[in-house]
Amino acid sequence: MQSKPVGWFEIYVQDMSRAKAFYEAVFPFQLEKLESPDPGFEMWSFPGPMDDSNGASGALVKMAGVPSGVGGTVVYFMCKDCATEAGKVAASGGQVAKAKFSIGKYGYAALVIDTEGNMIGLHSMQ
């Protein structure tokens, strides 16, 4: 059995409370605090098993000297209808960079910017 190609992702933030509130308001899940021996390193994990099952686990990360913001990588969150989550973004302190659009037989996507300046993708089949 082949392992998933992406095993972990991190979304860097500057204000953990604000970022955590954004993700918990836009998506139907709660983040879980991960313990760290370094007091300057704070992580809150997205739900899901941290094993070799399908999909990738990840976390919001606040680390000194590591900036947040739009870069070359976009993490896509799976949604039933990406327009639903995109509709919650502005009220949660983010902004919609590109509203729901068709990607042909692969479904639909939307691009949004979180409260820390990170661009994330939303993907759905409807």
Output the pLDDT for position 5: 61
pLDDT in tens, 46-66: 988 766 567 787 889 887 877
**Cα distance between residue 100 and residue 61, in whole Å:** 27
**Each residue of 16-28: pLDDT tens digit?**
999 999 999 999 9
Tell if the pTM clears 0.85, that is, is over it.
Answer: no
CA distances to 7, 26, 108, 124, 126 from 105, rounded to whole Å, are 26, 26, 9, 11, 10
Predicted confidence at residue 8, as pLDDT, reads 81
User: Which one, of 2, 7, 3, 9, lies nearest residue 121 by Cα?
Assistant: 9
Burial of 110 (0-12, 13-18, 19+ CB in 10 A): buried
Beta bridge partners of 111: 98, 121
Mean pLDDT of the region 74-85: 94
Give CA 66 to chain center in angstroms: 17
